[in-house]
Every structure is written in C-alpha cells, then in structure tokens.
Amino acid sequence: MAAFIDRVTVHVSAGNGGHGVSSVHREKFKPLGGPDGGNGGDGGDVVLEVDSSVHTLLDFHHHPHQKAPNGKPGGGSNRNGARGEDAVLRVPEGTVVTTADGEVLADLMGVGTRLVLAAGGRGGLGNAALANARRKAPGFALLGEPGEAVDAVLELKSVADVGLVGFPSAGKSSLVAAMSAAKPKIADYPFTTLVPNLGVIRSGDVTYTMADVPGLIPGASTGRGLGLQFLRHVERCAVLVHVVDMATMEPGRDPENDIAALEHELREYDDELDLVGRLKIAVLNKIDVPDGRELVDLVRATLEARGLEVFPISAVTGEGLPEFGYALAREVEAHRASLPAPDAVRITLSPKAVDDGGFTVQPDPRTDGWMVVGVRPERWVRQTDFSNDEAVGYLADRLNRLGVEIELAKAGAKPGDAITVGDVTFDWEPTLPAGTLTVEETAGLGGRGTDVRLENNSRPRADERLAAKRRRRTPYELLEPEDDDPSWDDTP
C-alpha cells in the first residue's frame, strides 16, 4: 500500500477554558481578607502550520481525532490557572482546508503559514476579578467556556512548476529520475506510479520543480483509474508537459490520439482552470527504440500544428534532455515574471454602529417565545453556574445592562414568556428599572416602572418613633400591658 495520503477528514477539538474560583482570603488576625479567587486558564487552540519536512497527510489518516489540552482552573491566593498548550498540526505546503459543506477556509501556502482551525475556550473569572465597589465579596465565579469543535477536510495539492501528464508507462517517472535526484519507482507495467513524485531541476540559472502525476486514461475525469484522485495535483502547475510514448505497442493508440484524449480529460476535470492552455510542450519519449525514432518525423508536424513545442528525448540515454530542460526554464521564468507583485497587507477596520448592541431578539418557533442571539449573551450564559443564585443574578444584571430586556419589551415579550439564550431556556421575569421605557411600552408588563413602597404615603409621627425606641430599650419582663400600645406615652 502506498504511504501517500492527499485527502483526509479531521475532527479537531480545542481545549476548554478552566473554571474561575470563588475563594476568600484567610489569614490569622485578618478575618476580612476579601476575595482572592484566581481566574481559569484559556484552553489551547488547534493550529495548522505548514512544515517543509512534511509531504503527506498520512499522520491524520491514522489519527483523525486531534484535541488540544484544557486550561487549568484557578486557585485561591489569586493564583490563575495555566493556559492549555496549542495543538500544532504540521501539514505540507499546498494544503487546502475546507468544511464538511465544501466552504474553503484557507489555502496554506508558504512555510510557516498558520491557521487557527479551532479556538480554545476562555477561562472563567474568579471572584477576585468580579469584585467592585458595590460587590465587595462575590460568592461566585464564572465557568470556563468550552472549546470549539470542527470537522474539516484537508486536501493536498502539490506545488510544482512543471507537471508531467500522459498515459501510464509513458516514461514520466524515468524522465523525473533522469533530470533530478529523485528516485521514483520505475517498472514496465501500467500504474507503476501511485503517488505524485517531485523533483528539483536546475537549468542554467533557473531552478524549478517537476511533478510526475500518475498516468491518466480515458474517463479519468469521471473516476476511472487513478486520474480523478490525482488530477488535483496539476492545478498549481504553471506548465504542463505531455509525455508521449513513441514505442507503445497497444492497438488503437498513436501520439495524436493520446494528446486528444488527454486534453479532453483535462477539460472535463475543470474547464475554468484552463488546464489545456497550460499544455505548451510535448516530449516524444523513448526515441532510443528504433520504431519510436521513425515516428518522430510523422507526428512532429501534427503536434506543432496544435501549438505545442515538440522535443524528441530519451530518458534512458539522455538525448534531448538539455534542450528540453532549457525550454522548461524559459516557460517557468516567463510565468513567474507575469505574476503580479504581492500586495501589501492592508488592515481593514470595521467600526461598530452606535446602536449595535451585539445581539438580536427573534421569535422562537420551538417554544412560541423569543431567542436572544449574540456572541456576548451566549458566552455569558455558558459561563454562568446556574446552581448559584448570586451568579444567576449577576447574569441578569449583565443582560439588563446590555439592553436585552429593553429589546424584549419592544419586541412584545410578556412576563412568563420562554426566553432562549444559547442552550438555556428560562421564563422571563422583567427587572427593568423605572423610566427605561415609555408608558406605552410598559403597558401589560405588570406594573413595571412602579414601586409598591411608594403607594403608602403615611409616615410615623415623632411620638410614635419615641415610643418604639423606648420599647426597644426596655427589658421584656418590665414591659407593662399598655406597652403593647405603640402610642403609649408616660409624659405628664
């Protein structure tokens, strides 16, 4: 079995954030030490990085599940948890990352290029970080966020300047071996080459790479043979060379028909890439065979009429290889000169609108209630410990300050409606302060904007306050029956 894998599906999971800690400082002679709970550490990211020493995706074929370490929880004495280390996955240059739905996430080109495939969860804040002037000793801490889980497809497309294409046993591997230091497998049976082979060639002052693609046959673009599996490796080649077998003994085959069949398969694979337009050179291989040399003059004119530059060569004796190498160097150099200069990296700033709260309120058809959709509300819900009443109250205060309740009221939500934020659904009990909505908006909200303490306008008189004060200071056993009367007064 060939140890070359160029397409895999990976299932990656970033690390979860560590939980914050609720702790109170304890020290001798310091009974009120204050909160000292530390924050949890962030979870590790799953990162793809291009490495020049990696040439295949074989490791992910055997280990498709990858996970980054979790962040450590915080501790007392203001000790923060350690951050989880990133899981760095080494991939070869030319790896295209797509989602399971086919959306392209990145095309990793250049050694050292990195992509954060799954981000780690944030660590939760400890009660020391939650303390403020009004909340001096929080009795709760925030939970760590779970890390992202992503299913992605990694597809390798070889990076080469020149691609050799042709029928099986046309001598492509022999040509790479003759012109470079590569040592591909060479044998006298079809489909000897099962994996793309890369060779580095130097012709004059130009250095370029050559890729030997497994042989193509009619129907390769529809899955026959190995064509559909490896045609992707010619997408990045600047120049395609048709290697024609001049000594084939198969009936019904000749150089002109081979080129016509090859162009048809390249066009059917992806017409938008214009792979046929990259076929600029044809090499007539195996002219060391007597019958092959006799056919050169017969097919040269036909191939040149197609716009191809023809080079009779022999990968065995080396005849014609220098001229062929210089022609490739010329085409590669012309292609490199035609490439536009790389644009400078531009930083685009997208300011947030003044009235953008970062969330939206939408009807929820599942519960006949409402959904609050937004990054911050959903993150706050994930970080809340719902077994702690104080933490739940803190969540309600944050949502209120963000304007969630105002938007719910404007959307028409009523007390008792089911409100879903993230994965949590709860009944809405409005807590809006007075004056935040108009009279029309507060209609039907059950007395929102009022305070029952303001309904009783009576105020104790001075003698009543004096009597109550004496009752508090008089021992119980000395109280007289008339002391039960709050209006009792012993002044003459």
Angle at Cα 62 formed by Cα 59 and Cα 66, nearest 5°? 75
* d(C-alpha 204, C-alpha 326), whole Å: 7
Is this structure's pTM higher than 0.75?
Answer: no
Contacts 24+ apart (CB under 8 A), 291-297: 291/246, 291/247, 292/246, 292/247, 293/246, 295/246, 295/255, 296/246
Per-residue pLDDT of the chain (492 residues; tens, 9 = 90+): 344 577 899 999 999 999 999 998 888 877 778 899 999 999 999 999 999 888 778 889 889 999 999 999 999 999 999 999 999 999 988 888 999 888 889 888 888 899 999 999 999 999 999 998 888 889 999 999 999 999 999 988 776 788 888 777 777 778 888 887 656 555 443 444 445 677 778 888 888 888 777 655 544 444 444 444 556 667 778 888 888 887 776 656 677 777 777 777 777 766 566 777 777 888 888 888 877 777 787 788 888 888 888 888 888 888 889 998 999 999 889 888 887 776 665 667 777 666 677 899 999 988 889 999 999 999 999 999 999 989 998 998 899 888 898 899 888 888 889 999 988 998 888 875 544 555 455 444 444 334 444 455 566 788 888 888 888 787 766 666 554 455 445 544
Report the C-alpha gap between 373 and 408 in whole angstroms: 12
* Closest listed residue to residue 262, CA positions, set 238, 209, 253: 253
Buried b (16+ CB within 10 A) or exposed e, 33-55: eebbbbbbbbbbbbbbbbbeebb
| Cβ neighbours around 323 below 10 Å, total | 13
What burial letters (b/e) apply to 262-289, b meaning 16+ CB within 10 Å?
bbebbeebeeeeebeebbbbbbbbbbbe
Backbone angles phi, psi at 422, to 5 degrees: 65, -125
CA–CA separation, 199 and 193 (whole Å): 14
Listed residue (209, 268, 201) closest to 238, CA to CA: 209
| Closest alpha carbon to 319 in 478, 174, 160 | 174
Which residues are CB-neighbours of 151 under 8 A, at least 6 positions away? Answer: 9, 10, 11, 12, 99, 100
Annotated binding site: 166-173, 191-195, 212-215, 285-288, 314-316
* Assigned token pair, 5: 């894998």
In the chain, DSSP finds a helix count (H) and a strand count (E) of 12, 18
Numbered residues of the known binding site for Mg(2+): 173, 193
How far CA 285 is from CA of 87, 165, 215, 311, 420, in Å, comes to 48, 12, 15, 9, 70
> Which residues participate in the annotated binding site for GTP?
166-173, 191-195, 212-215, 285-288, 314-316
Question: Are the C-beta atoms of 17 and 120 separated by less than 8 Å?
Answer: yes
Token representation of residue 271: 């017409």
233, 237, 241, 242: CA torsion to nearest 10? 30
Q: How far apart are CA 193 and CA 158, in angstroms?
A: 15
3-state secondary structure of 358: coil
| d(C-alpha 80, C-alpha 70), whole Å | 14
243 membership: H or E segment, kind and range: strand 239-245
Q: Where are the alpha helices (DSSP H) in 246-370?
A: 255-269, 290-305, 321-338
Q: Which domains does the chain have, with CATH numbers?
A: 1-156 (2.70.210.12), 162-338 (3.40.50.300), 359-454 (3.30.300.350)
